[in-house]
Amino acid sequence: MSTQDSTAPKNLANIISHCKEYGFIFPSSEIYDGLSAVYDYGQWGVELKKNIKDLWWKSMVYMHENIVGIDSAIFMHPTIWKASGHVDNFSDPMIDNLDSKKRYRVDHLIEAYAEQVSGGESLNEEGQAVIAQMEALLAKDDFAGLKQLILDKKMTCSVSGTCNWTDVRQFNLMFSTQLGSVAEESDTIYLRPETAQGIFVNFINVQKSGRMKVPFGIAQIGKAFRNEIVARGFIFRMREFEQMEMQYFVRPGTQKTWYEYWKEARMKWHLELGIPVERYRFHDHVKLAHYADAACDIEYDFPMGFKEVEGIHSRTDFDLTQHQTYSKKKIQYFDNDIDEATGKPFGNYTPYVIETSIGLDRCILMCLSEAYCEEDLSTPEKQDSRVVLKFPPKIAPIKLAVLPLMKKDGLPEKARELMDHCRDSFLCFYEEKDSIGKRYRRMDALGTPFCVTIDHQSLEDNTVTIRFRDSMEQERIPMEEVKDRVLASLR
Ligand code: ATP
């Protein structure tokens, strides 16, 4: 038997078609030819998603006495996005290279060109002239002129090396809509591009109502929306997606320690998904956002290479301070612990924030990529193969399939007895159609870790055959042991 182990390269196209064929993920609005970069989760995808959400929630909220969860609304006051910087920082003119699909801020592309022709730190005459032209065009919002400048100077993409550009467009990643029936500018609100701001603006509510003491965290799982111009990679980059974010509020000066703590804690969570350590790496940000004092990504080796699945950011007091300024409400914390240096309480301050932010859909793609295996089971006598999703049982959509060998002789009734015994503890699946071999293969393709077959002997001595997905081994056990066996694998 040749097995595709977890380190073998996986083919994304095969994973995408498997997800559709077996009811995990469908393109959105498919009967209308789909909607780009939007996907629907099917009957098994939704279970996988729920299991991953639950694991994350448990590790954050149940396992930490000082972390609580919230569920804030998607619509928020528009000023929030001014305070957070999203209104201004996502509104630059952009241009895409059609060959590499790389997107550039137009000013970055032109500045890089100016530096390149100048050949040094300071700009020469030609470089200065290009910058002057750019500034004049930007001031007039003359996007056609900017594109012409890029074409005239033959500015190329650093990846493809070509000059094959789209038009320049003003691009804000946020989707906007109107609140109320009158389309006035003041009514414009945004679909949130991240869940974090819902946490920041509830900092005081949660801290006071929960009598939370710094350090403490607020966790949230929810939808976020980004009008990604280059949306590729299946559910890796979507326009509507889900995030699992946690903001941890700490005393200023302790952020470095907590940043290291959360880097380690989050990597531990990833490893508990059963994914080997060599499939991950940390990527430290060299160029930090203006509000961050440290930041890194956890990258996973996706079918298209190592890419970010989670970000861990030390965001200083930027967000809370911004909201304090824009809302004109005091957003501070009184710390009555004694500062050993002064012998006095730490007093009032704006807490610093460590954020962990993971895309749920990216995490699902990671688990699918890791689990997907094509196995050649051929023997000299017979060609055979299977596709199996080797999910750890705790994230597998179905935990147990109950399969009566035949549709008669009281076997279905016996099988239903087992279903009724187990269904309040985990998701079970009943199937009596097709040969047992075909039913096993189907359960392998869905990632079901255990199949139980009920046969005539089961009626006599109350034993059943349990079959293990990964090894395909079978064992005869008493029927009353099945539930505990499955439960033990979920711990
Ligand atoms: P990227 O560089 O890939 O665009 P980002 O750095 O903008 O991601 P963050 O703003 O830090 O991402 O968001 C946190 C997490 O949310 C990311 O690590 C990723 O898992 C997820 N995420 C962000 N954008 C998308 C998207 N368009 N589709 C799916 N998941 C996303």
Asked whether residue 284 falls in the same domain as residue 342, the answer is: yes
Q: Would you say residue 103 lies in a domain?
A: yes
What are 366-401's pLDDT values in tens digits?
999 999 999 999 999 999 999 999 999 999 999 999
Q: Would you say residue 219 lies in a domain?
A: yes
What are 25-83's pLDDT values in tens digits?
999 999 999 998 999 999 999 999 999 999 999 999 999 999 999 999 999 999 999 99
**219 in helix, strand or coil?**
strand
Asked whether residue 206 falls in the same domain as residue 221, the answer is: yes
Q: Dig out the tokens for 345 from the structure.
A: 């309480």
Domain boundary among 121, 136, 171: 171
Asked whether residue 71 falls in the same domain as residue 105, the answer is: no
Q: Would you say residue 392 lies in a domain?
A: no
For residue 359, the CA-to-ligand 1 centroid distance in Å is 6
Report the atom number in ligand 1 closest to the C-alpha of 310.
18
Asked whether residue 22 falls in the same domain as residue 58, the answer is: yes
Q: Would you say residue 6 lies in a domain?
A: no
| Band of pLDDT at residue 288, cut at 50, 70 and 90 | confident
Considering the chain, what is the average pLDDT of its residues? 93
Asked whether residue 416 falls in the same domain as residue 344, the answer is: no
Contact 394, 421 (CB under 8 A): no
| pLDDT surpassing 70 at residue 185 | no
From 241, 288, 361, 365, mutation site for ligand 1 pocket: most ligand atoms within 8 A of C-beta: 241
Asked whether residue 123 falls in the same domain as residue 192, the answer is: no
pTM of the model as a whole: 0.86
Count H helices, E strands: the chain?
16, 23
| pLDDT surpassing 90 at residue 418 | yes
Contact 430, 371 (CB under 8 A): no
From 225, 308, 310, mutation site for ligand 1 pocket: most ligand atoms within 8 A of C-beta: 308
> Which tops the pLDDT comparison, 10 or 117?
117
Q: What CATH number did the domain enclosing 154 receive? A: 3.30.40.230
Hey, which residues does 428 pair with through a beta bridge? 400
List the beta strands (DSSP E) in 285-399. Answer: 294-302, 305-314, 333-339, 344-349, 352-359, 372-376, 385-389
Asked whether residue 327 falls in the same domain as residue 210, the answer is: yes
| CA-nearest residue, atom 8 of ligand 1 | 308
Q: What domain count does the chain have?
A: 3
| Band of pLDDT at residue 181, cut at 50, 70 and 90 | low
| pLDDT surpassing 60 at residue 5 | no
| Band of pLDDT at residue 9, cut at 50, 70 and 90 | low
Q: Which domain holds residue 96?
A: 91-171
H or E stretch at 478: strand 474-478
Residue burial 178-207, b: 16+ Cβ < 10 Å; e: rest: eeeeeeeeeeebbbbbbbbbbbbbbbbebb
Asked whether residue 115 falls in the same domain as residue 181, the answer is: no
| CA-nearest residue, atom 22 of ligand 1 | 359
Q: Report DSSP letters for 111-167, one per residue.
A: HHHHHHHHTSSS--HHHHHHHHHHHHHHHTT-HHHHHHHHHHTT---TTT----B--
From 237, 307, 358, mutation site for ligand 1 pocket: most ligand atoms within 8 A of C-beta: 237
State residue 140's pLDDT score: 84
State residue 286's pLDDT score: 76
Nearest to 363 by CA among 388, 336, 395: 395
Asked whether residue 67 falls in the same domain as residue 162, the answer is: no
Q: What CATH number did the domain enclosing 426 receive? A: 3.40.50.800
Domain boundary among 121, 137, 171: 171
